[in-house]
């Protein structure tokens, strides 16, 4: 259908006349036609007067609300599945948070027996504490510090406890620092 030039008043009038009885365009007066006029001829128009029937809306529960009572079978099945989930969860071992710590243990001077110092540090035993490798690192003027690795369970062993016990060996240890602290 050609409307002509829509910029001219005559073209706009032709378009307005054409759209005057089309009800699917908002804002224009029109006559509502039966559904069969727009689609298949044998389809019955059940749309009513345009108002929605609130009873039909209640029949469809899109969000699965629990307003209605659960059947006994559904309750039993839900409880059974919850029990299975809880038993699986209980069997699963809990994840233990561990950390790898590199300690610098400094002696008093160059005459400190470093083998005895390491022996004292390794004598510290605690649940959740595992000592690893160690090495002597030169600091200066012939003095070496002990660098020792350990793995600890975070809930059982803390760096404060380690520092307190290591510095308790006052004859060998001047101070202790945490050189590296990594979560495992």
Domains and CATH numbers, the chain: 96-181 (3.30.70.60)
CA dist., res. 168 & res. 172, Å (int): 9
Helix, strand and coil in the chain, % to nearest 5: 30, 25, 45
What is the CA angle 161-163-165, rounded to 5? 70
DSSP H helices in 20-63:
35-38, 54-59
CA dist., res. 161 & res. 99, Å (int): 14
Nearest one of 48, 29, 157, 143 to 99, comparing CA atoms:
157
What is the pLDDT, as a whole number, of residue 30?
59
pTM of the model: 0.51
Tokens standing for residue 49: 């007067």
CA dist., res. 169 & res. 161, Å (int): 14
Q: What is the DSSP letter of 134?
A: E
Tokens standing for residue 178: 């945490």
What is the pLDDT, as a whole number, of residue 47?
62
Q: Each residue's pLDDT tens digit in the chain (184 positions)? A: 676 787 888 888 888 888 777 656 555 555 666 655 665 556 566 665 555 555 555 667 676 665 556 688 888 999 999 998 988 888 877 778 899 999 999 999 999 999 999 999 999 999 999 999 999 999 988 899 999 999 999 989 999 999 999 999 999 999 999 999 999 8
């Amino acid at each position: 259908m050609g409307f002509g030039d829509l910029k001219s008043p005559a073209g706009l009038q032709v378009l307005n006349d054409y759209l005057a009885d089309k009800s699917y365009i908002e804002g224009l007066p029109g006559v509502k036609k039966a559904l069969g006029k727009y689609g298949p001829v044998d389809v019955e128009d059940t749309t009513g007067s345009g108002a929605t029937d609130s009873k039909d809306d209640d029949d469809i529960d899109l969000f699965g609300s629990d307003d209605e009572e659960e059947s006994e079978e559904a309750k039993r099945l839900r409880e059974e599945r919850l029990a299975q989930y809880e038993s699986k969860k209980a069997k699963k071992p809990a994840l233990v948070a561990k950390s790898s710590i590199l300690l610098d243990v400094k002696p008093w001077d160059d005459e400190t027996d470093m083998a005895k110092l390491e022996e004292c540090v390794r004598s510290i035993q605690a649940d959740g504490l595992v000592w690893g490798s160690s090495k002597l690192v030169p600091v200066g003027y012939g003095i070496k510090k002990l660098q020792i690795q350990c793995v600890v369970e975070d809930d059982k062993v803390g760096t404060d406890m380690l520092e307190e016990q290591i510095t308790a060996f006052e004859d060998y240890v001047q101070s202790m620092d945490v050189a590296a602290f990594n979560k495992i």
